[in-house]
Amino acid sequence: MSSKKPKGVKTAYTCFVQACRQEYEKKHPNEKVNFAEFSKRCGDQWKELPEAKKQKFKEISEKDKKRYEKEMENYVPKDNVKQKDTGKKRKAKKEKDPNEPKRGLSAYFLFMKDERPNFVKNNPDTPVTQIAKELGQAWKECPPEVRKRYEDMAQKEKAKYTKAKAEYDKKNQNGHAHASHSSTGAKRPKMIPQQQQQQEEPESEEEEEDSEGEEEESDE
């Protein structure tokens, strides 16, 4: 049994892209790959590739699928391993306030947000895991000026979040303070005259008899 999740199945198209990349790197070992252009070129080539040549990559994909299924048979999620060993259950996540400001995206995720739609459009058959891997590689190979542009955007996002979060926390603190003051500052209701009269009356019949006896003795 293994707690390490197996890598996802490679599609025929993914196998094709990897083959193209390996071939390109062999021919141009000292040249960095422009991810956006390379991805688009691979997508166009795949569309025009004859079915007979696609079959080769489909067979590679089927072989990888068998590898994945075999590894999944011995796969045990980490959560299941922990629960089996300790007997403890995961605590339910605390519900978040929908009004709480969300953190800004990092430079990498801003880059992903811009590049992902184009990549998916040109490579519709690529699995999600492979898309993330390809975009991650593209980010590593980005020119310094491109990275700086996204890093500047990330800093603006961070500053915006910090300001909004401070205002949100201040508003919540004021709300809690007002609520606690209202609960502790409640005054005792005033008694109406009838209630005061009832409290001043004797508490029992014995007290009434005693008071009458004292009056009779004083008369004698």
Task: Over range 76-90, report the average pLDDT.
Answer: 58
Task: Over range 85-111, report the average pLDDT.
Answer: 77
Q: How far is CA 44 from the centre of its chain?
A: 35
Task: Over range 89-93, report the average pLDDT.
Answer: 62
pTM (whole model) above 0.75: no
Q: How far is CA 157 from the centre of its chain?
A: 17
* Alpha-carbon distances, residue 195 vs 180, 186, 198, 204 (angstroms): 31, 21, 5, 17
Domains of the chain by range and CATH? 12-86+100-173 (1.10.30.10)
Task: Over range 59-63, report the average pLDDT.
Answer: 92
The string of pLDDT tens digits covering residues 40-57 is 788 888 888 999 999 999
pLDDT averaged over every residue in the chain: 76
Tell me, what's the pLDDT at 214? Answer: 47
> What is the phi-psi region of residue 11: left when phi exceeds 0, alpha when psi lies from -120 to 50, beta otherwise?
beta
Separation of alpha carbons 195 and 146, rounded Å: 81
Task: Over range 167-194, report the average pLDDT.
Answer: 65
Separation of alpha carbons 156 and 50, rounded Å: 48
Tell me, what's the pLDDT at 4? Answer: 79
Q: Which residue has the higher pLDDT, 203 or 134?
A: 134
Q: Which residue has the higher pLDDT, 165 or 10?
A: 165
In the numeric block, which tokens belong to residue 39? 């991805």
pLDDT beyond 90 at 156: yes
Percent of the chain predicted with pLDDT > 90: 17
